[in-house]
Amino acid sequence: MEIIPAIDIIKGQCVRLEKGDYDRKKIYYEHPLEVAKSFEQAGIKRLHLVDLDGAKAKHVVNLNVLKEITSATDLKVDFGGGIKSIEDLEAVFSSGAYQVTGGSIAAQDPDTFISWIAKFGAARLILGADTLNRKIMVGGWLEATKLDLDAFIAFYLAQGIQYVICTDITKDGMMQGPSFDLYKSILINYPGIKLIASGGVTTIMDLEKLRDMGMHGAIIGKAIYEGTITLDQLSKF
């Protein structure tokens, strides 16, 4: 199972929210590059970089942070937040992103997202399935849709998507463990999916359980910053 630390960006700073609430923000580091370098030094290979300003503004805002990290580290970065146009997408890839996560665009403009899959290949694009009560949320989790989580995933698997990051918003930043039952049901329904857990990972035991379930990856954010999972533990894991 891939270990994927998260860096969420607001105004160029490394922050965490609770349940995606922009009013419940905590700044952890002024310089995301230093954080990324510490991950790399611990043996981490992947990074989940989220432009929270971009998600809210509906266009990429913190491209400079991506450029800094990809030029100064060898981390394979997947980038998400505010990517709505082919121009945004090409700018993100040309800035060094290894993969791009599309959530709102996949929900609101499927034709465009499908065209990206066709142009860049399914290996370069990750479906962002951000869910609240099994409905898809968009726009930095500020807007609800009527899209059912399972139907959303099934539709894009049929379009060739391989990687899916599923975030249970009720768990995000709450340090109460991930949505094991939710992930278990997705893995049963869609064998072969490369499912990445996001939200709620709090302890190494959480990671062990996700790995044993057959998850492809797990994103870890607040647990690292609050010290309930250390980089030393991750390097050993």
> pLDDT at position 19, please?
81
Of the residues 53, 78, 130, 172, only one is catalytic, namely 130
> pLDDT at position 5, please?
98
Coil, strand or helix at 146? strand
* Catalytic residue check, 130: yes
b or e along 27-42 (b: 16 or more beta carbons within 10 Å of the residue's beta carbon)? ebeeebbebbeebbeb
Domain count of the fold of the chain = 1
Q: Which of 218, 129, 223, 151 is nearest to 180 (CA)?
A: 218
Q: What is the extent of the structural domain holding 74?
A: 2-236
What is d(CA 122, CA 59) in angstroms, rounded to the nearest whole number? 22
CATH number where 116 lies: 3.20.20.70
**Mean per-residue pLDDT for 179-204?**
97
DSSP calls for 200-218: ---SHHHHHHHHHHT-SEE
Q: At what angle do helices 86-94 and 63-72 cross, to 10 degrees?
A: 30
* Catalytic residue check, 51: no
Query: pTM (2 decimals)?
Result: 0.94
Copy the structure tokens of residue 109: 């403009």
Copy the structure tokens of residue 79: 């980038």
Q: What is the pLDDT of residues 93-110, one digit of tens each?
A: 999 999 999 999 999 999
Confidence at 237, pLDDT banded by 50, 70, 90: confident
**Mean per-residue pLDDT for 138-156?**
91
